[in-house]
A and B are shown apart, each in its own frame.
Chain A
Amino acid sequence: MIQRFPVAGEDFSAAGEASSKIKNILRQVGEDAELIRRVCIAAYEAEMNLVIHAGGGEMILKLDTDMVEVIAQDRGPGIPDVELAMQEGYSTASDLAREMGFGAGMGMANMKRCASEMLIDTEVGKGTTVTLRFKTGKN
């Protein structure tokens, strides 16, 4: 099963809706609560990055028998230095994002901690795709 959710850039009141829908779907299909928690934290961080850093994009949920996959895709500015972006504390978030409680530079590290596997495909000026994979059942 594949589901797609559009995410608007800079829209802080709607930000989080896609992750909330993902959460509901995972509940409906009866995934384990601990897995749902990890997927939701990572998905929400990825969604906020679309809103804050990329001018919006798309969240994609793929459900397989032994895998939940969440993909955050955008055509934003790309990430020039992925290693730096992964470091806790590094952030280029705007003042507005900081007022909303974001911009701690923790999101990417959080995603990595929550997911079984994290892939980042990015090109400056073209966009970024973050793929988060979660093994279901016995990891």
Chain B
Amino acid sequence: MNLAQVKELLQAEVLSGEEKLATTHALSVCGADLMSDVLAFTKEKTLLLTGLTNPQVIRTAEMIDLVGLVFVRGKRPSEDVIAMARERGLPMLSTKLPLYETCGLLYTAGLPGCSARAANG
């Protein structure tokens, strides 16, 4: 699924990387607020759903090449953090939906979690 489709599904606002949405594909999704968990358990080409909006989320995304970030429950990072994402060409969306519902919509639409991907190879 590409991020333009994710945006539609979640009725999300685009915070950065608008021009890349249609060409950026997510193979799996991870929902987490603990960066060490994200670092430990995500595979490549993963989209992260999170309620954290600090600079470390962008750093984490950079370190493991996350395909994008979705901030849930209407959260929005500061302009500084959005600027960091723009510099790195990292797409970011913000949805009003809470984490559980955001996960549910994406899962139902066919995007697996990282552990399912590990099991299926």
Contact = CB atoms under 8 A, between A and B. Distances in A.
Interface size class of B (residues with CB under 8 A): 20 to 34
A29 to B, nearest CB: 18
A104 B36 contact: yes
A45 B59 contact: no
B65 A37 contact: yes
B59 A44 contact: yes
Contacts, number: 73
A101 B64 contact: no
B103 interface: no
B40 A37 contact: no
A57 to B, nearest CB: 17
B101 interface: no
Contact of B56 (A20, A102, A113): A102
Given A16-B63, A102-B36, A106-B34, 9 more contacts: A16-B56, A20-B59, A40-B63, A41-B63, A45-B36, A102-B34, A102-B35, A109-B40, A110-B39
B54 A107 contact: no
Closest 4 CB pairs of A and B: A16-B59, A106-B36, A101-B35, A104-B36
Contacts of A110: 36, 39-40
Interface of A: 12-13, 15-16, 19-20, 23, 37, 40-41, 44-45, 48, 99-102, 104-107, 109-110, 113
A41 B34 contact: no
A20 B39 contact: no
Contacts of A109: 40
B60 interface: yes
